[in-house]
Structure 1
Amino acid sequence: MNVAPPAGRPDRRRPGDSPEQLARWRLISLEKQLPTPRPLTGLGAPVVVGSILLALLAAFAFVHLDRVSPAGVPTAVTESQRQFVEGLARGLGNSVGRSRDELTELAADCNDRPGQARPLLSRFVDGHPMWRGVAVVDSTSRAPTAAVGQPVTLPPGLTPTRAALPLVDGNDPRLLLVEPLASGALLVGELDLGVRSLRLDPRSRQAILIAVPGVGRALAQGTPVEAGGPVEALLDRALTASAEEHTVTRSGIAGPAPTGDATAADPVAPLVTASVVGNLGFSVVSVVSAPVTVERVSREPLFTAAVLFVASLLVLLVTWLGLVRPVRRLLDHAKATASGNPVAGPLRTVNREANRIGAAFDTLATQRDGTKGVRRDERPGGVGATWWVIGATLVILASSGLIVANLAPAERELPGQVVRDAQNQASAVAASLSDTLDGGFAMLADTGRDHGKANTSGMRKVVDRLVDDNPRFRSVYLVSAGGDTVVGAGREPMRPAGPVPGESGVNLYDVQGRLPIVYAYYQLADGRALVAEYDVRHLSRLLDRMPGRVQVLDIDQRDILDTSGYLAFEAVTVEQVRSASAAALTGRPYAEVTELDGRRELLVATPVSLEGTTAQLEWTLVARRPVSDYALPNNALRKGSMLVLVVAVGIGLLLFSWHYFFQLRPLRNLAREAGALAEGKTNRVVSPRWHDDIGAVAVCLEVCRQAAVHGEQRLGGAARLRGVEGMNTVIMTKVPERRRRGG
């Protein structure tokens, strides 16, 4: 704003006639017109922030990498034991749930036909071998009125309600299930709690226990656990904690290996993992002698931290000397030129853009003095500002390369316990797949036997109930003897119309397509057949219970199911996978760490089923997982280093982007405008684009342009807009906030 003093009153704020005072007053006035950088918008903000982030990353790397591989049982062993025991508990819980449903159905049959309890019990035990004995017991006298199988005894004090009582006396774990009957009697069944056959490593002295907290435990498989030893306390702690945390792991003190296969240099520690089975009141416990990783001194944390810290100093040095300091010297040069102060020679810096803009200031000053056409520094030296920023970014990338070059070597082998656990997990997934297929066929067969003579209307209700009660089926339908669909439920059948092959069973429709067509079928007496197609997505979800890539291959080595993206019936070309699948189909277990696609992987293969209805499919389950995915000491160190590496590269990209968009581009644009002014094109206004040091240089350049065109009266202290003749420029006092608010 231009304000002139009243007539007759002198302007006390105007400078005197001395050139020094005039130049000083112009400089003060100019500085009040220049933009002031805000926080994080100054010229040195990016390099300071980047250097601080690199220093903080160095401290984080030293602390984080120093603790990723502590001494003790490797995390890979602990995780594999947790997954293994959780799988056992889940499978046992599902088995007990199915058995309880079977006993509930038996209770309903006994209520419907109370006089035929004995034949019903006999038929039930013959069809379900897991039941040791079933009896109908009088609730008052506790004496059995009908019993089949081994004697069943009610414990004293048991209330006559629906109950589940685990029995762990001796090495014969059992579960007592009680169902009340309408007559007031109790249907009692004793269920065998033995887990499926497992492959246990005798060198690790593994034991699988069924334990009831506060009551006792029973050995299901493996090496007996010594009573009163150090493992006893670990067992009690694990069982107590599992009641709240579901699955817990507790490890003991390391000591020498108990077998002759290992030496004292290979210490082991007892590892106890417990997982509760639903709300049934008992837990599955695994006890192993796990290998122990000894504490070691690693140079990776110190080396990584030192590299990053040196990189932060180099980035600060390069950017400060190549960009920040030259531009600030340019700003001082610009202020002096724009206020009419004498400049001691041309500007000489290591920055080419700063030198070019400084030369333009000198040229405009000579034009203002009346010597047009005279220019200084026709070819200013220095390195481009972009190259200085690129150099700082390359320092960060080079430090990242040093970190990569000194990464800890990847693990090539796995502890034996991890391999055994992977075998057992693969077997559990294969058994779950087999049970799903066999159970679906058994359900279809029971329905066919019970409703095989029903008419079309009755069969419609039957197939509707099958689809609604079984998520494993995508569709169920009845086909005629000629293969035409009579009635169906669920989604549209994928199997083409036609007669079913053979009598009954589970089959794979062998055709190239988007999805494999797996179906169960049961031939009825009148020539019709019940067909149930399995939901492939439901089957694939069963494979997700095991980490890594899990495939199901047929006898022709074609991919039937896969947890990774695949095409149905695509032939497997990896020779190791084909060999493992062929070996597993003969019944031999396969588990090996081998080279697959250029990296070390654990390859496990097991048959889906060697007996039962599903065996006719001749499927094998193949699981593969890279060794680098396991939480072993070197793997953990490499992953921690890669995390630090990614963050360092991110800081480098942030530093370059910040400089490029907010400093380099404005500086280069200003250098081009300064070059045009130096060539005599003074009719274009120079506008500041950013409120920072570069914007202040742009304001000074515009002042010099106006001074070169209109004379030195346009230097610092002059109004930027030409006022009325006779009006003088004054520096106004800032109005206090309270006065502005008061009007």
Structure 2
Amino acid sequence: MSLTSTAGRARHPGDDRDQIARWRLISLEKQLPQPRMLTAIGTPALVASLLLTLLAIFAFAYLSQGDTAGVPKAVVESQREFVHEISRSLNNSVGRSRDELSRTVEAYNARPDNVTAQLAALTKDQPKWRGVGVYTNDGRTGVAAVGRPVALPAGVPPGRAAVPLVDGNAPRLLLVEPLADNKLLLAELDLGIRTLRLDPRSKQAVLVVVPTGARALSQGAPVPADPKLDALIKEAVDGTARRATVTRTGTAAAPPAGSGSAGPVAPLVTADAVGSLGFSVVSLVYTPVTDASATREPLVAALALLVAAVAVLLILQYGLARPVRRLLLHAKAVASGNSPGEPPRTPNAQVNRIAAALSALAARQDPGSSARRDPAPGGTPAGLVVVLAVLAVLGAAGGVLTTLTQAERDLPGQVTRDTENQTGAVAAAIGDTLDGGYQKLVLVGRDNGKGDTAQVRRALDRLVDENNRFRSAYLLSADGSVVASVGREPLRPSGLVPGEGGVVLHDVQGRLPIIYAYHPLSDGRSLVAEFDVRYLTRLLQRVDGRVRVLDVDQRDILDSGGYLAFAQITTPAVVTASARALTGRTYAAVTDVDGVRSLLVAAPIAVDGTAAQLEWSVVAERPVTDFALPGNQLHHGALLVVVVTVGVGLLLFSWHYFFQLRPLRNLEREAVALAGGDTSRVVSPRWHDEIGAVAVCLEVCRQAAVHGEQRLGGAARIRPTEGMPTMIMTKVPERRRGGASRRRGD
């Protein structure tokens, strides 16, 4: 638009009120805040509806995942953890055996003439060694041997090696160690797996498979001759070259005899490589498969969310967004001096009151105007409109909650057995750690018991450096005082050690259990090594859930979660499980623990050895809802959707409350006060949206009430002079350059 002076007009410009009103409206609109993408009055409703629609799609897809058929994921996961634990235990056992063999190599290199005694010391009370011998460099001619004859297989180079072998059902590992005099130390090690509790109904078998493809049945039911099953085992073993643990599932078929299963079962093969030793541990089970079942829960959840999305959009569009937009049109008409007409009747109470106040201001500006103030505009409060929209969202969350099926109350037998074996492995690991620590301390005392303090200190320093299980080690004098100490500051107070050696718990008081091994020396001194509680606690974390070590009086000694040391355990189910485990047998049951359906497994720390005198048990507790079963997955998925839906509702309410409801209520108070004659307070826009634009219009009306009609439109304008009226002219479009050139050419 442009301004121009037009002469020859007989009419005074002030008489053309329509022209002035149009100019005021144009000027006003140029000064009003323009809403951006995220600040418009209808944006929150649009965003919330879009989020609910996307959530409906996600809910339908996510909740439908539990409808697939096959082996339950919980069984697959438990088998993977079961096999991995066996593999890790076997790898650690081989590592300890190689350390023993390395010490024998050192002893031989120091005194080759004492080889017979050295081999006898290695194999004494250790049936795991099938045969040990010193051979010539070709591995064929023996110099000295103990146990069964050992020979270096053809094709194996004479160097340090570990060769897995299978002889019938007796898997073994041939360890080769070169000696200083160009001879070889050969030792055959039994790859024995600790006794496992296998489920006879699932026909479970644990195998050891070597790279040649030969396999040995370690424990469990015999594996039937079946080419498809052989191919499945080979595929799983080959996969361990790329991944640590591999699972393969066969085709479902009729259950084998004696399985006790009424429906079809599928062979599940899980393999895990044992370190870098070149062989794998394989578990084979026949597990029932679940049928794919179409459920109504995903569809009901999606429909509830879609209905909520539409309801939110309609409620906020007709209850808030459209009324505010109509109010803005009315406010611009009043602030520009145009005839506003009747104030808009909307469902929103705040909008109606502001519109009535603006009409009252218009009536004061133009007494002849037909606009009037409605004393009772009515309408629904804006806050209630927003609350209704939020209730629609929460109603959708309630609709999803109604689809929740009860979580699983029981577990497949295979999962229970696998957890039972894992808990037993943790108990055995703690027992081996304590008993093995004591044995290492005994070796230090045997080799350095008659040495001076400096020699014993050096030996203890090597002991702590080579064993993470110890936090400190020290030498006590005959009166119980510390003579030499290595590692961290001892926690055990000075004093005499009890008895003749072993592993003990110092006391049942304090913030930390003090567990130590001790060994008296022949001269009255004693060696003490304190175990690292954090190292022992990390062993408990090999089993999922909460795992505790309890003593015979049901006190909490170690715990995988936060706990108070020596706290008395009073939960009846846990106390029963621990007491049953102290009888020497593993306990497993699915029961209620403090009102939560859980799998409870307990195993004794040690039945014999030095750690048995502690009378400790490991108790593992895990809620049934933590297992990946179809019912649990649907339950958790619905809860996830409910939480996200409630989050959308909170976002919707917060967005409206802070950015729209509060500014609208403030604007209502300002408008009512201004209509009542209070022109002392400036009306400032809080946000750059439609409500802010109404606030600017209200401020223009306030200025017009104070300074006169010339303030309408929001800014000072060029005033016409006598004979030169101000008019609004239509903008003349620019001519094209081509046309102008042609005219100039003419």
Same fold per superposition (TM over 0.5): yes
Confirm whether residue 358 of structure 1 aligns to residue 355 of structure 2: yes
Matched, 1:485 2:482: yes
- 2:140 aligns to what? 142
Q: Tell me the amino acid that sits aligned with residue 250 of structure 2.
A: G
- Residue number among 338, 341, 364 corresponding to 1:341 in the alignment: 338
> What is the alpha-carbon distance in structure 1 between the residues aligned to residue 131 and residue 568 of structure 2?
48
| Partner SS, residue 660 of structure 1 | helix
> In the comparison of the two structures, how many residue pairs are matched?
728
Matched, 1:386 2:362: no
Quote the residue 1:367 is aligned against: 364
Change (3 A) 1:556 1:30: same
CA deviation profile, 1:558-583 (whole Å, cap 9, x unmatched): 00000111111111000111111111
Distance in structure 2 (CA, Å) of the matches to 1:524 and 1:343: 107
Following the alignment from structure 1 to structure 2, what is the Cα–Cα distance between the partners of residues 500 and 69?
A: 62
Taking structure 1 as reference, are residues 15 and 289 closer, same or farther at Cα in structure 2, changes over 3 Å only?
A: farther
- 8 Å CA contact 2:67, 2:294 repeated in 1: no
1:311 and 2:308 are equivalent in the alignment? yes
Quote how far apart the aligned CAs of 1:480 are.
1.6
Stretch of structure 1 that moved more, 240-249 or 118-127: 118-127
Kindly state the Cα deviation for residue 34 of structure 1 after the two structures are TM-superposed. Answer: 2.0
Match of 2:741 in 1: none
Q: 1:407 aligns with which of 404, 408, 421?
A: 404
Give the letter aligned to residue 201 of structure 1: D
| Structure 1 range deviating more: 169-178 or 400-409 | 400-409
Corresponding residue for 1:440?
Answer: 437
Displacement of 1:260 in angstroms is 4.0
**Structure 1: gaps of 5 or more residues:** 737-743
CA distance in 2, matches of 1:431, 1:375: 90
Report the Cα offset of residue 688 of structure 1.
2.1
1:101 alignment counterpart = 99
CA distance in 2 between counterparts of 1:72 and 1:699 reads 66
Counterpart position of 2:289: 292
| Aligned-partner SS, 2:66 | coil
Corresponding residue number in structure 1 for 2:165: 167
Change (3 A) 1:259 1:106: same
Is the contact made by 2:394 and 2:646 (CA closer than 8 Å) also made in structure 1? yes
- Cα separation, 1, equivalents of 2:490 and 2:569: 28
* Alignment match of 2:319 (pick from 322, 328, 335): 322
Is the 8 Å Cα contact of residues 365 and 708 (structure 1) preserved in structure 2? no
Structure 1 letter corresponding to 2:84: E
Partner-residue secondary structure (3-state), 1:89: helix
The separation in 2 between residues aligned to 1:526 and 1:263, in whole angstroms, is 66
- Rounded to whole Å, the distance in 2 between the matches of 1:322 and 1:724 is 42
Work out whether residues 400 and 642 of structure 2, in 8 Å CA contact, stay in contact via their aligned partners in 1.
yes
Q: What residue identity is the alignment partner of 2:556?
A: D
Aligned equivalents of 1:84, 1:728: Cα separation in 2: 96
Paired residues of 2:266 and 2:286 also in contact (CA < 8 A): yes
Q: 1:157 to 1:731 in 2, by over 3 A?
A: farther
Report the Cα distance in structure 1 between the residues aligned to 2:474 and 2:48, rounded to whole angstroms.
67
What displacement does 1:602 show? 0.2
1:720 aligns with 2:715: yes
Preserved CA contact (<8 Å) 1:291 1:415: no
Check 1:607–1:18 CA distance in 2 against 1; reply closer, same or farther (3 A cut). Answer: same
Matched, 1:621 2:615: no
Deviation at 1:724, TM superposition (A): 8.9
Of residues 657, 670, 673 in structure 2, which corresponds to 1:660?
A: 657
SS state at 1:583 partner: helix
- Deviations 1:345-377 (CA, angstroms, capped at 9, x unpaired): 2332111110111011011112212599x9722
- Find out whether 1:637 has 2:634 as its counterpart: yes
1:535 aligns with 2:532: yes
Alignment RMSD:
2.4
| Cα distance in 2, alignment partners of residues 728 and 182 from structure 1 | 118
Provide the rounded CA distance (Å) in 2 between the counterparts of 1:637 and 1:15: 76
Alignment check: 8 A CA contact 1:15 1:25 kept: no
Offset of residue 4 of structure 1: 8.3
Query: Shift of residue 3 of structure 1?
Result: 11
* SS of 1:66 mapped into structure 2: helix
Cα gap change, 1:196 to 1:437, in 2 (>3 Å): same
Residue 19 of structure 2 contacts residue 728 of structure 2 at CA under 8 Å; is this kept in 1? no
Contact kept, 8 Å, 2:334 with 2:340, in 1: the verdict is: yes
Separation of aligned partners in 2, 1:590 and 1:141: 48
1:407-465 C-alpha deviation (Å, 9 max, x unpaired): 02100000000000000000100011011101110000011111111112222222222
Instruction: Find the aligned partners of 2:682 and 2:28 in 1 and give their Cα distance.
Output: 17
Name the residue aligned to 1:124. Answer: 122
Shift of 1:338: 2.2
* 637-646 vs 362-371, which moves further: 362-371
Deviation at 1:134, TM superposition (A): 0.2
Percent identity of equivalent pairs: 59
Q: In 2, distance between residues paired with 1:227 and 1:143?
A: 39
For 1:473, which of 462, 465, 470 is the aligned residue? 470
* Superposition deviation, residue 194 in structure 1: 1.3
Partner SS for 1:248:
strand
Judged with a 3 Å threshold, the aligned counterparts in structure 2 of structure 1 residues 225 and 495 are, in CA distance, closer, same or farther, namely: same
Q: Do residues 23 (structure 1) and 21 (structure 2) align?
A: yes
CA contact (8 A) 2:13 2:720 kept: no
Q: Is the 8 A contact 2:27 2:715 kept in 1?
A: no
1:233, 1:16 → 2: CA distance? 100
* Separation of aligned partners in 1, 2:139 and 2:386: 93
> 1-side partners of 2:673 and 2:451: how far apart?
97
Aligned to 1:212: 210
Which residue is equivalent to 1:739?
A: none
CA gap of 1:708–1:449, structure 2 versus 1, over 3 A, is: same
Distance 1:508 1:728, change over 3 A: farther
- 1:253·1:270 contact (CA, 8 Å) conserved in 2? yes
Alignment correspondent of 1:34: 32
Residue 65 of structure 2 is aligned to residue 58 of structure 1: no
Shift of 1:152: 1.0
Whether contact under 8 Å (1:256, 1:263) holds in the other structure is no
Match of residue 741 from structure 1 = none
Render the CA deviation track for 1:705-732: whole Å, top value 9, x for unaligned.
233333333323xx62588996998889
Q: Distance in 2 between matches of 1:214 and 1:651?
A: 59
SS of the residue corresponding to residue 532 of structure 1 reads strand
Counterpart amino acid of residue 273 in structure 2: V
Q: Is the 8 A contact 2:130 2:147 kept in 1?
A: yes
Q: Tell me the secondary structure at the aligned position of residue 131 of structure 2.
A: strand
TM-score (ref. length: structure 1): 0.94
Q: Could you tell me how far 1:483 is from its partner in structure 2?
A: 1.2
1:704-743 matches, cutoff 5 A: 704-716=701-713, 720-721=715-716
* Paired residues of 1:441 and 1:520 also in contact (CA < 8 A): yes
Shift in Å at residue 528 of structure 1?
0.9
Q: Is it true that 1:457 corresponds to 2:454 in the alignment? A: yes
Query: Amino acid of the residue matched to residue 677 of structure 1?
Result: L
- What is the aligned partner in structure 2 of residue 551 from structure 1? 548
- Residue 191 of structure 2 corresponds to 193
Residue equivalent to 2:235: 237
Q: CA deviation at 1:285?
A: 0.5
Residues 74 and 629, structure 2, Cα contact 8 Å, conserved in 1: yes
Tell whether the 8 Å contact from 1:69 to 1:636 is kept in structure 2 after alignment.
no
Aligned equivalent of 1:587: 584
Shift of 1:322: 1.0
Structure 1, 26-35 or 115-124: larger mean CA deviation: 26-35
Report the 3-state secondary structure (helix = DSSP H, G, I; strand = E; otherwise coil) of the residue aligned with 2:375. coil
Rounded to whole Å, the distance in 1 between the matches of 2:716 and 2:658 is 31
Q: Secondary structure at the match of 1:245?
A: coil
Report the CA distance between 1:554 and its aligned residue.
Answer: 0.5
* Contact residue 139 and residue 152 of structure 2 kept, 8 A: no
Distance in 1, matches of 2:303 and 2:260, equals 39
Gaps of 5+ in 2: 735-746
1:435–1:730 CA distance, 2 compared to 1 (3 A): farther
CA distance in 2: counterparts of 1:287 and 1:35, whole angstroms? 72
Distance in 1 separating the partners of 2:3 and 2:399: 67
Deviation for aligned residue 1:313: 0.4
Correspondence for 2:44:
46
In the TM superposition, residue 141 of structure 1 has moved relative to its aligned partner by: 6.7
Give the Å deviation of 1:687.
2.3
Stretch moving more, 620-629 or 649-658: 649-658
1:527–1:361: structure 2 CA closer, same or farther, 3 Å change rule? same
